[in-house]
Amino acid sequence: MIKKPFVLAASVGMTLVCVHSTIASDWPQWRGPNRDGISTEAGWTVRWPATGPKQLWKLNVGTGCASVAVSQGRVFTLGNKDNTDTAVCLDANTGAVVWKHSYACPLDPNLFEGGPAATPTVDGDRVYTLSRAGHLFCLQAATGKVLWSKHLQKDLGAKMPTWGFSGSPLVLNNWLLLDVGAPGAATVAFDKMTGVVAWKNGDEPASYGSLIAFPHGGKTCLASFNVAGLAVRDAADGKALAQFPWKTSYDINPVTPIIAGDRIFISSGYNKGAGLFQFGAGGLKSLWESKKMRNHFNSCVLWKNHLYGFDESTLACMEFATGTVKWTEKNLAKGSLMLADGKLIIQGEKGDLVIAETTPMAYKELARAKVLGGRCWVVPVLANGRIHCKNNLGDLVCVDVSGK
């Protein structure tokens, strides 16, 4: 039996530091402490000078679409240069390199720049990283020392997806969970301290999205949006509890499911669209399906009963319960976003950092600045008064929005 059924990355969680009227918080994993793309950080400013927010530091960390994790004064990410992946730890204040861990891995560009796409996960004194080819590492967060490693293809028989492994590792209590996609091991729980397989279950191919844990009926469940569709498993042993088929062109189901009580939202690009499902004793029941929210690769956020996300190249607001579109905005192309203090933090595909009100009434922009060039498919991250933006070629910039 799993105790504390809804604790993600429990030993790190979310650090709250009160500085004057500002609440700051770390961002230790993909989509933040609760994997929902929402931060509790408040008090940061959208009153920028005409030149935009102050740039604190900038450097290139290598090609790839991995976002950043921020924990205990350090920034963690991944990139690729000369067919070599590098996990890098940076000082959050200065951008100075604290350590690097490198290994051979093909860049493998295929209709995009290539490189790693999974975001590091920080849990206490450890950080977990995954390459597009399936190199899984547990590293000492302070030094980058390898504590254990696995190779999903060689050790577990997984088949690499067309665009590589991209699901970000999930820590749940004593386990590290991944959608692996091997026969008999669609989802795998590793002992987070040793890498020993605790359980494995399922036969579906690997997911491009990331697992999320949620409580239901007195147990902890896992939602996975893999090639076959939406799957719900018992987190105790990986046993399948429900499945709903969701066929998408090129087998791309890229997002992390969004959970609200017993309802689960998923979305895909390539003109497939979105769906809302109710999970219960009878399995998964479709509540609605729509082609009006087609997430190509980045997930929506859910706030006050409305979804905010990219319908292919259009930013849209959609009513959660019905799928009704409230507004659209077309000037950000294939962007990405998170939410904090009731505001959307958006990175447009061409490098614009935009802050907008989170309201279903209309799109209302509060601030905008050009912070990067090149193609930007990477989700921005606010942590401790700083926004981190990264492009596909690995340029990472940190700007100050603390208002100090």
Give 173-185 pLDDT, tens digit per residue.
999 999 999 999 9
* 342 inside domain: yes
User: Distance between CA 178 and CA 189 in Å, rounded?
Assistant: 7
In which domain, by residue range, is 175 found? 17-400
Weakest mean pLDDT among 145-149, 233-237, 245-249: 245-249
* 355 inside domain: yes
* 12 inside domain: no
pLDDT at position 20 over 80: no
Q: Total domain count for the chain? A: 1
pLDDT at position 15 over 70: no
pLDDT at position 9 over 80: no
Q: Which amino acid is at 162?
A: T
Q: Which of 351, 313, 356, 350 is nearest to 333 (CA)?
A: 313
- In the block, tokens 């190509």 appear at 296
CA–chain centroid gap for 130, Å, is: 13
- Contact call for residues 329 and 314 (beta carbons, < 8 A): yes
| Confidence category of residue 257, pLDDT binned at 50, 70, 90 | very high
pLDDT at position 13 over 80: no
pLDDT at position 392 over 50: yes
Average pLDDT over residues 99-125: 97
* 331 inside domain: yes
* 3 inside domain: no
So what's the pLDDT on residue 23?
85
The H or E element containing residue 154 is: helix 152-156
* 10 inside domain: no
More confident residue, 11 or 274: 274
Could you count the other beta carbons within 10 Å of the beta carbon of residue 100? 13
| Confidence category of residue 246, pLDDT binned at 50, 70, 90 | very high
Weakest mean pLDDT among 17-21, 114-118, 176-180, 245-249: 17-21
Tell me the CATH number at 370: 2.130.10.10
So what's the pLDDT on residue 28?
98
So what's the pLDDT on residue 83?
98
Q: Which amino acid is at 79?
A: G
The percentage of the chain sitting over the pLDDT mark of 70, rounded to a whole number, equals 95
User: Is the whole model's pTM more than 0.75, yes or no?
Assistant: yes
pLDDT at position 17 over 80: no
What average pLDDT does the structure give for the chain?
94
* 187 inside domain: yes
pLDDT at position 35 over 50: yes
Q: What is the pLDDT of residues 135-168, one digit of tens each?
A: 999 999 999 999 999 999 999 999 999 999 999 9
* 76 inside domain: yes
Helix then strand then coil, in percent of the chain rounded to 5, is: 0, 50, 50
| Burial track 235-274 (b if 16+ CB lie within 10 A, e otherwise) | beebebbbbbebebeebbbbbbbbbeeebbbbbbbeebbb
| Confidence category of residue 24, pLDDT binned at 50, 70, 90 | confident
- Contact call for residues 392 and 112 (beta carbons, < 8 A): yes
pLDDT at position 117 over 60: yes
